[in-house]
Every structure is written in structure tokens, then in C-alpha cells.
Amino acid sequence: MKRLRAFINGADIRRFRFWVQLGFFVLLVYGGYFLINLGQSLPTFSCGFNQPGRAGVCYLLPLQHQTHIPWDSIISWRGLGILTGLLTFVAWLFVFNKAWCGYACPLGTIQDWMTSLRQKLGIRYSTYSLDWFTRLKKIKYILLILLIVIPFLMANSVAGLPTLPEDMGTPFCKICPARMVIPAFTGDFSQWTVDFSTGTAATMTGLGMLVLGIFFIGGFINKRFFCFFCPMSALHSLFSKVALLKLRKDGSKCTRCGDCYRACDMQIKEIADDVESKTLIKDDCMMCFKCVASCPEEGALKASFMGIPIYESTEAGFFKRMTKRRKR
Amino acid sequence: MSAEVKAKQTEMARKQLSRESAQALNKIEKDFPDNPKAMDYFYDLYRRIHCEGEVPHPGKKVIGTTCVQVPEELIYAAGAVPVRLCNGSHTYDQLGAEFMPAKSCSLVKATLGMLSSGLASWLDEGRDIVNVTTCDQKTKSGRLMEEAGYRVHHLELPPSKESEAARTYWQSNVNGFARELGSLTGHKITRNSLRDSIARVARAQQAFRRLHRLRMAPLAPILGKDVFLVTNAYFFDDIDAWTDAVEALNDEVEKRCEEGFAAAQRRAPRILFTGSPPIFPNLKLPTLIEQSGAVIVADETCSANRMLYDAVNVDEWQLYDMVDAVADRALKPCTCPIFISDEDRKRRLLELARTFAVDGVVYQAFSGCQVFEMEQRSISRFLADEGIPSLYVETDYSPDDVGQLSTRIEAFIESLKARRRRK
Amino acid sequence: MAEWRYWVIGFVLLSGGLAGSAQAEPVWFSDQPPDAEWAKRAHHAHGGMIERGRGGVYVKRLWLRAGGEPASAVYTQPADDASFGVFGIDGESLAPDLFKVASGGGITFPMPEEGFYNAYFIERSVEDAVLKTSIVKAEVLKHSCGEGHDPKLTASRMPPRDRAGVPLEIIRERLPGEDFHTRIRSGDKVGFRVHYKGSPAAGANVSLTTREGWTKQVVADADGRAVFKLIRDYYPAWNDFDKRHHEAFLVTAEYRVETPGELNGTPFEKAHYRATLPGIFYPSEVEYSSYLVGLIVALIAAALGAGGVFLYRLKHSRAGRERLQ
């Protein structure tokens, strides 16, 4: 048991993650061909536009359909539909928490591949200044609110204003790069267009292609560029406190050396600086556990599931990984 | 001053230094029984360098450093060898007194004294020094080194380390330093050279951490005076030879642990040493403590733990990330009292006290070292609140206060023993 | 399936002399309301216009129209003695209501379940010793996203009803991968099968007419199949373009047999069958969406982003970083 533990804690998390991510990528992007269907409430970007390859649908797509609901039918079976969808979503999240982002999300995986490519080319990554970081991180919450409110305003007239046009439907999907990128992996480029049928449609799809262009540059130059703005991550963070999988920190063992912060793709400063909190899952966290792997202090950081530590920072593990990675 | 007089003075200093070092080494080596066999490497090293005046790193480009915050990985990567100039010699302390005000730190005075003595000949070729702007005295002494004819790179350190602004400022300074090193040595820092030097330092750190961990044993397997000597040797020894010697020592110490060997009395109070760094030959306080029947099991000083404990983590093994990583390691975990906040130092002391089952803390401050003197009150109060007894000792490099000190230390250790019995 | 037999018998008993004019021009089902008053009651849904019945259940109202061209076909009244019927999801027979109002008439029926409903309206007459039978059919989809998208359920309800129940029947074949959301678009190839009493009606004349009057006629092959490629039939001013515009087509199949017999005591020497099936299709995506513009937008964004990053780095490059590279 002790040896197994030492083996796991000494493991190269990057390689482990690479394979798990690849597995999930194949499952979520091509699983549909093998008739795998994980339902409509997946807490990750298993893009619904990727037909028939998808093995399940990103919860944001049905959510945006469901919130397209007249006010008076909320207390009805349609309202119940919203509730069951949300409960299924929370159930998925309850188990794996934000590891959906760090290990399962196909768009996240694609961004990690872009990062590897940049690394191989020896091009420096960019980061946000702390000032911009705190300013920009609000965007994902704004997007989350909009993707719920816009469909609702399509079905309801508020304060006598006309309802929003039909072409505003699934507004987040319209600007989400996954809609273009993920179907492309099954050879479907039909989303890579601007729809000129109406002004609204042209604006939304044009915006989508604009975001796609920015995504390719941003994702190349910033680690996990899009995740920082992802409303799914915002939705996760509303429920992540109660989930079974946790990232724990023992502040007394922390030297605040910042090694974890260096490794963090999401630039979460608290991982190094916060020595008070017992669990440290910030809204941007994707639970990749790179921080655990890069912590040289015995047991200062650990990933735990239902209170059982599954991956822990150790001195031996740290130096083993450093030596290994250096040689590559 | 004629050259002849100068030469005479230098010769006098050499003799005095040699005598001082031999006395100190003798005390450390001979006054204690059962020294580990593997310590002979270090005793011999000090004998050669300090007593016999052997030149460290002959034929190599040597760059003097003044503080732990100098990213030594960069110096190695540029094909040079860093040698820490901080020293504990009373001879140098006296020589340096003419450059500094009366009430200033012995360590800074000794450094200036050494540089002006003409005895640091191994630095003479390039006369290159990296001086980190830590405390006021070190900062300003950088200017005095320049006046003495040295080429000094002033590496600017921010006065706090919490903010991102401080971090970026420091990283950009370290990057500037890295660039300058390239032109200084003629060897540009490359991806491979930096990667290798990070590996070398990491290996040394691993060896140190192993030694550090071994000292957690309930029966102290090695005395603190020896460990200070070992870590102090890292200042000037060849890094790979040093690491091998430490690993040999570790093997021996580990064996001692398995055999249940106790380097001190079985019930000797366990001491955590903090404050101004004990540097050879000034191991006055550690030796006094261990002669009085206690054992130093851990420390929080920049001549040992603070210098060797914290490790570099690189995310992307490219130059851009490695330089920043090395810079981060020098700044972020540092518990030097020059920073505004003392929170990290408190937490570090508490964690060390807990994991090493410490009975009491000895806090050394060199008189004139304002920052350590200033932190004394808050640290002592903090330790008292945590129920850890502590002794604050203000001293310098002169041997005059040994009698008075030993009385205080014996009293402190007696009180620790009494406290233990009560428990 | 006993009901089914009664229904067939009902056909035979009920069918009588309809107005001759109905035979002259094809009669077909349309879900488009004839006037503004009726339009108020109709709502858009997947599968066309619906009305809301008691408890929110979808109710389909199909109007009878006469005329070969969908654009100019008139709304007609059903004869009192016409026979009609609707088959539900599992082929069960439903009892539709016949309605007649000032502006037209037809049948209405509720659609409680997800899937395809098949509605029929049959008129027969004997003229000049020829039995003329007009089989009006509509295949109506009921789908509401609120009821979910269980792929297994969808798949089980996709196959068209192809059991022979009426003398001549047009069956639309499904598009590859078709589900409740699939839209037939101009440019698509749509296949139809024509069955005469359950067997392929090889040699039947099958024609497809779009709303604007474009017609193509083909002869059904040995399997009774006829395939049409839908043309573009929608040319609005660019700013009036609606990608959800319903273009209409009408498929008509004619089949003659030389079998003598008699209808309500009137003998005939041969029989002439005509079946109709209406459908809708949408403008093709290529008519309104542009890969080129999309790529240009993305490339401009990417170029601006890359340029921005490059310039920023050039300006803010920290001391030494470039030379260290």
C-alpha cells in the first residue's frame, strides 16, 4: 500500500493527463459512432453540433433551449425539464468536480495540444497582469447570465419591449469556438460560415467566426485561453464546493515558494498565497493537479476523493518528476 | 600607503585569519566526540581553504555573491562559479570596520574587510560581484565594493514579495542579470546550460533535504555545528563534490539513525536556530549551545536552510520559463527579514518547530543587523503565543562575550530541561 | 387491426360521386390557413402549422385544396360522402373530424404523441366507364423539443408507414440520418415510392411541382421509385430573405389499370388512380451562409490577434528576454 502510494505520488501527472485527455477526447468526439450516449447534461464541452460523433451533449446547449420558455409555463412540465436537466448536470459534477475541465473537456484538450506545440516551437507564453486578470475573470459570469437571459427574452416581452429575434437562439453556442472546432474533428466544417439570412444571424455567426480566429491565436499564446472566459466553468463553480473530488491544501506546510503558481495554467495566485483555506478550488481551477505535482512540500497539496487522498505532493515525487522531465 | 606596508598588512591578516580559523576548526572538530567519519571531508576542506589559504576553484571564472537571493543557477549556466562572500571571520570584521559606521553588522564588515584585505585573490581576475539590494547595509556596501575596485552588478530586490508587481520587477531584473552574465563570462546562457545547472543545484538541494529530514529522528543523529559547517561549505566548495560529500554523510547519518545512535545526550533539549547566519569561523553560538548539552536539530538561517531548501520548479523547459523560475525561487519562499511582512518566517519557524519536535528556539542577531533586531519582538511574541520558549541573543564576531553568553545559554537549556521534566 | 378493415369497408361504402371538377385537378392537403382569421389560430411547430387543443395538445388542421400549382390552388370543400382517415404512430386508426367553413374545409385531428401521422382523404367516381380515384395524403410530423430527444425513440419512429391501405399511395423516403429536426432543403434529392395495393407501381407517372410552378415528371422504376432533386424556388429581395421560409412542393402520382369492375352499381372498364402528397422544404444553406466570409472574418481576427501579441511583446519585452532566446 505504501509502495503503491509512493508510486502514484511519484507519477508524472502530465503523461497521465495526456492519455486520460486523449481517451476522453476520443470518447466525447467520436463516441457517437459507437452508439455511446451519455445524455444531454454533460458538464463539459461535448459539443452538440458534432453529430453524429458526439457521445453526449454539453449541458449549455439544452440549457439555452430550456430557458427559451414563456413566463407562464415555468410552473409546468417544461419547468420540470429545466430542473431535471440541472440535477443531472449537478450529479455529474458532484463526482468529478472541475476535473471535467482538466481531464475531459475536448476544447480544453485541444488548447493543451496547442500549448505543447507552442512549447516545442520555443515561443513564450503570455499571462495576464493581475489587474487584467481580476477584470477579465468576470466575463464568464456575464456570459453565463446572458446565455440564460437571452433565450428567456426571446420568449417573453419584458417591460413592453419586443421579444428578441429567433436568430438569437442558443446565443452562447453561436460564439463558442467549440461549435466550429469540435465538429471539424469529424470532418464537419459546416459551422465555419457566416449566416447572412438576417442581420441578427449574420452578427451572431460573424461574432462566432471572430471568436474562432481569436481562439486560435489566444489558445496558442495563452495557456487555456478560452477556459478563462468559459461560462461552463462559471456554472461549475456554483456547485464545486460540495463535490466529492477536492483539492486540499495544508497551509502550515506551505512555504509559499510559488512553484504551484508557476505551474498553474489558469494563473491562480491563491494556490500559492492562501495558507488559510483547507480546500482550494477557485472558479478558474480546472483540477488538472499540476500544482500538486509541482509542490516539493510533503503533503502540502493533495487531491482527495470523498476525503481519501488520491494524489499527494511529496518531496521524492517532486524531484523525480523534475529529473525526468528535464531529461526529455 | 606604500605597497610594502600594504603587503605587510596583508601578510599579518593572513596569519591572523589562519590562526582564528584553526582555533575555531579545532574546537568544532576536537571538542566533540564521535564526529561522523564523512565529516572529515569538510574538516579537511576548511583546513585547506581557511587555514592554509588554498584558492577555491583554481582556473575558473569566479563571481562573488553576497546573498541567498542571487540565482546561482544562472552563474553556473554562464560557465562561471558563484562564491558567496559572506564570512564569519573576526579578522576581516576588524579590517572592514574602517568602511562602516561603528554600529553595523559584523557580517557586512567582514565581507568588506575580506575584499579590502587583498586576500581574496581568487576573485581578482575579473573582480566581479553580484550584490543583491537586500538590507540597507548590504545595498550600500555594494557601492563601497565598487570604490574598492570591484565590478559590481547591483541586483535589485523588491522590499516585499507578495505583490505581482514585485515579482515581475524581480523577474525582469534577473533577466537583465542573466543577459549581463553572458557578456561577462563570454558564455551565453543557453537552454541546455541552464537546464544542466538547475539540475546540479537541484541535486545539491536534494542532498541537503535528505540531511534535513534525517535530523527529524527522535534521537538527533548529527550535531548542528557539523551541519552548519556542511552547509557553509556550499558557499565556496565545488557543487558536485559538495553534493557527493553530503550524500556520503547522509548514508552514514542514516545508518546512525538505524542503529539508534544519539549524537547528543538522549534527553538533550532540541533547539531550532534562527536569525543572523552562523558562518565559519564564527560558529560561536551553535558550539556553545551544543557544549551546554542541547542539540540543534533545525535552523532557519540564510547560511543553511534558507539557502538550500527551496527548489526550482520549471513548467516549460525553455529559457524564458527557466530564468523566471529561478528568479521565483530566489524571491517567493525567502524568509529574509528585509521583507515588509514576517508572516512567512513565523509560519516556517512554527512548522520547523513542530516537525522537528523542538524544545526551544535560539534567535541570534548580530548587533547592528537592524532587520533581525527589529523582527525579534514580533517573532518572540509569536513563539511565546505558540508555547515555544525562545532565547534572543545579540552578539557579534568578537570572542569577548563568550563567557556571558554561555551563562545565558546554560540557563536557557536548564529551563528547557526543567520544562521537559514537568511535562 | 380489425378497425382497419372496417375503415376499408367504410371507404367502399362511403365513396360516391364527388364533383367532377375535383377529378380534373389534383386535390391535396395543405396546413396553411386560407385567411387571416384562421391564421390567428395557427402556430409554427416542427412539422408545420398546428393549433393548440385542450390541455395544450397539438391539433393538426389540414385544408383541402385543388389545383396543380401550390401557389394558385384554391381551397375547396370536402364532399359530404367523402371518405377519410388518419393513422397514428403505431398505425392505429384515429377518428379525424371533418370540418367545413366558409373559406374551405378539410379534416382535423389531435396529435398526442411524437412521430409521423398519416392522413388520407379519398374520392371516387366513375366517368365514361373509367373509375377515377383521388387519394389525398399528408404525412404530418409532430415533434416538440420539450418532450426531449431520445435517439432510440426517434429512430423507432422515423421509418415511413408503407403498409398498403389505400389503392395508390406515395411514400416519402427518409433522408440519410433524418430525425425530427431534419429539414429538406433545396438541392436535396428526395425519393418517393409509389405503391399500388401494396406492390410497387412500376410505370406510374410521378410529378413534382413547386409552389412557383416548376414541374418535373418522371416514371416510377421497377421498384415504384421516383427521385427528384429539389430546385431553388425562393427568390426574395436580399433583405427579406428568411432561412426558415417554407417552400412547398406537391407530388402527384397517376396510375392506370385495365381492370374492369363496378362502383355502387356503376360498371367501369378501367381505373385511373391519382395520389397526392404535399411537402415543404427550406432554402439551402449555401444560399445564405458563406464559408468565405467566415474564413475571412476568422483570419482577420487571428491576424489582428497575432499582430497585437507581436507588437505588445516587441514593446514590453522585458530586459534581456529576446537576447536570451
pLDDT tens, residue by residue, C236-257: 887 788 888 888 999 999 999 9
CA of C313 vs chain B CAs: smallest distance (Å): 13
B414: Cβ–Cβ under 8 A, 6 or more apart, which residues? none
Q: How far apart are CA A13 and CA A293, in angstroms?
A: 7
Q: Distance from first CA to last CA of chain B, Å, rounded?
A: 64
Per residue in C62-74, pLDDT (tens digit) is 999 998 888 888 9
Does the pLDDT value for residue C4 go beyond 90? no
Identify from B175, B183, B192, B317 which residue to disrupt to test chain C contact, counting C C-beta atoms within 10 A and taking the largest count.
B175
Phi, psi of B69 (to 5 degrees): -75, -10
* Cis-peptide into A43, omega within 30 deg: no
Cross-chain Cβ contact C305/A213 below 8 Å: yes
Query: Scanning the structure block, which residue is given the C-alpha cell 520558549?
Result: B389
Tell me, yes or no, whether C309 and C250 share the same domain: no
Give which of B281, B292, B330 is closest to B178, Cα–Cα.
Answer: B330
Q: How far apart are CA B91 and CA B112, in angstroms?
A: 11
Say if B172 is an interface residue toward chain A (CB within 8 Å).
Answer: no
**Per-residue pLDDT at C317:** 67
How many domains in chain C? 2
Q: How far apart are CA C128 and CA C138, in angstroms?
A: 29
Cross-chain Cβ contact C319/B319 below 8 Å: no
Angle in degrees, CA B405, B410, B415, rounded to 5: 130
Phi, psi of A58 (to 5 degrees): -55, 130
**Per-residue pLDDT at B261:** 93
Q: How far apart are CA A122 and CA B349, in angstroms?
A: 40
pLDDT band of residue C324 (cuts 50, 70, 90) is very low
A171: Cβ–Cβ under 8 A, 6 or more apart, which residues? A64, A146, A147, A150, A151, A204
Identify from B74, B187, B320 which residue to disrupt to test chain C contact, counting C C-beta atoms within 10 A and taking the largest count.
B320
Question: Hey, what's the cell of C14?
Answer: 362511403
pLDDT band of residue C8 (cuts 50, 70, 90) is very low
Question: Hey, what's the cell of A84?
Answer: 431535471
Q: Where are the domains of chain B?
A: 13-422
Answer yes or no: are the C-beta atoms of C305 and C298 closer than 8 Å: no
Answer yes or no: are the C-beta atoms of A157 and A163 closer than 8 Å: yes
Tell me, yes or no, whether C28 and C161 share the same domain: yes
**Per-residue pLDDT at A167:** 86
**Per-residue pLDDT at A328:** 55
Q: How far apart are CA C153 and CA C115, in angstroms?
A: 9
Cross-chain Cβ contact C321/B189 below 8 Å: no
Cross-chain Cβ contact C298/A210 below 8 Å: yes
pLDDT band of residue A162 (cuts 50, 70, 90) is confident
Q: Label the pairing between strands B151-155 and B128-132.
A: parallel
Of B175, B180, B189, the CB nearest to C318: B175
Query: Scanning the structure block, which residue is given the C-alpha cell 568544532?
Result: B28
Tell me, yes or no, whether C185 and C204 share the same domain: yes
Say if C176 is an interface residue toward chain B (CB within 8 Å).
Answer: no
Tell me, yes or no, whether C230 and C302 share the same domain: no
Query: Scanning the structure block, which residue is given the C-alpha cell 553588522?
Result: B105
Give which of B70, B117, B65 is closest to B89, Cα–Cα.
Answer: B117
- The residue that leads in pLDDT, C255 or C149, is C255
Q: How far apart are CA B305 and CA B296, in angstroms?
A: 13
Query: Scanning the structure block, which residue is given the C-alpha cell 415528371?
Result: C217
- In single-letter form, the type of residue at position B313 comes to N
Answer yes or no: are the C-beta atoms of B207 and B250 closer than 8 Å: yes
Instruction: In chain C, count H helices and then E strands.
Output: 6, 22
Sign of CA dihedral A85, A88, A93, A96: negative
Tell me, yes or no, whether C151 and C236 share the same domain: yes
pLDDT-wise least confident of A193-202, B383-392, C1-10: C1-10
CA distances from A22 to A15, B261, B361 (A): 11, 53, 52
pLDDT band of residue C44 (cuts 50, 70, 90) is confident
Say if B351 is an interface residue toward chain A (CB within 8 Å).
Answer: yes
Sign of CA dihedral A162, A163, A166, A171: positive
Tell me, yes or no, whether C56 and C202 share the same domain: yes
Q: How far apart are CA A213 and CA B331, in angstroms?
A: 38
**Per-residue pLDDT at C164:** 57
Of C290, C303, C313, the CB nearest to A196: C290
Per residue in A249-278, pLDDT (tens digit) is 999 999 999 999 999 999 999 999 999 999
Question: Hey, what's the cell of B350?
Answer: 512554527
Classified as helix, coil or strand, C107 is strand
Does the pLDDT value for residue C314 go beyond 90? no
Query: Scanning the structure block, which residue is given the C-alpha cell 483540477?
Result: A287
In this complex, the chains that touch B, judged by 3 or more CB pairs closer than 8 A, are: A, C
pLDDT average, residue stretch A2-19: 90
Does the pLDDT value for residue C284 go beyond 70? yes
Tell me, yes or no, whether C275 and C307 share the same domain: no
pLDDT average, residue stretch A59-70: 91
Give which of C15, C30, C107, C102 is closest to C65, Cα–Cα.
Answer: C30
Tell me, yes or no, whether C261 and C315 share the same domain: no
- % chain A with pLDDT above 90: 77
Answer yes or no: are the C-beta atoms of B42 and B230 closer than 8 Å: yes
Question: Hey, what's the cell of A274?
Answer: 492562501
- The residue that leads in pLDDT, C79 or B55, is B55
Question: Hey, what's the cell of A48?
Answer: 452538440
Tell me, yes or no, whether C301 and C247 share the same domain: no
* Cis-peptide into A162, omega within 30 deg: no
**Per-residue pLDDT at C163:** 65
All residue ranges of chain B with pLDDT < 50 are: none
CA of B147 vs chain A CAs: smallest distance (Å): 36
Average pLDDT score, chain A: 92
Answer yes or no: are the C-beta atoms of A107 and A218 closer than 8 Å: no
Per residue in A274-326, pLDDT (tens digit) is 999 999 899 999 999 999 999 999 999 999 999 999 999 999 999 999 888 77
> Counting Cβ atoms within 10 Å, is residue B322 exposed (0-12), middle (13-18) or buried (19+)?
buried
Say if B200 is an interface residue toward chain A (CB within 8 Å).
Answer: no
Answer yes or no: are the C-beta atoms of A37 and A53 closer than 8 Å: no
Enumerate the residues of chain A whose CB falls inside 8 A of the CB of residue C325. Answer: 122
Instruction: Quote the distance between the C-alpha of residue B330 and its chain's center.
Output: 14
Angle in degrees, CA A8, A12, A17, rounded to 5: 100
When mean pLDDT is compared over B403-407, C77-81, C175-179, the highest value belongs to B403-407
Phi, psi of B128 (to 5 degrees): -100, 135
Residue numbers of the domain that contains C272: 2-287
Tell me, yes or no, whether C301 and C272 share the same domain: no
Q: What is the ipTM of this complex?
A: 0.91
Q: How far apart are CA B175 and CA B320, in angstroms?
A: 9
Cross-chain Cβ contact B315/A262 below 8 Å: yes
Cross-chain Cβ contact C324/B175 below 8 Å: yes
- The residue that leads in pLDDT, B324 or A80, is B324
Does the pLDDT value for residue C303 go beyond 70? yes
Q: Which region, left, alpha or beta, applies to residue C22 given φ > 0 means left and ψ of -120 to 50 means alpha?
A: alpha
Query: Scanning the structure block, which residue is given the C-alpha cell 507552442?
Result: A118
Q: Strand ranges (DSSP E) for A184-288?
A: 194-195, 245-249
Enumerate the residues of chain C whose CB falls inside 8 A of the CB of residue A198. Answer: 241-243
DSSP bridge pairs for B282: B279
DSSP bridge pairs for C193: C171, C225
Does the pLDDT value for residue C318 go beyond 70? no
Tell me, yes or no, whether C10 and C75 share the same domain: yes
**Per-residue pLDDT at C263:** 85
Query: Scanning the structure block, which residue is given the C-alpha cell 379525424?
Result: C96
pLDDT average, residue stretch A116-142: 93
Question: Hey, what's the cell of C18?
Answer: 364527388
Phi, psi of B176 (to 5 degrees): -60, -40
Answer yes or no: are the C-beta atoms of C195 and C169 closer than 8 Å: yes
Say if C316 is an interface residue toward chain B (CB within 8 Å).
Answer: no
pLDDT band of residue C320 (cuts 50, 70, 90) is very low
Tell me, yes or no, whether C123 and C265 share the same domain: yes
**Per-residue pLDDT at C20:** 36
Give the torsion through C-alpha atoms of B254, B255, B256, B259, to 10 deg: 130
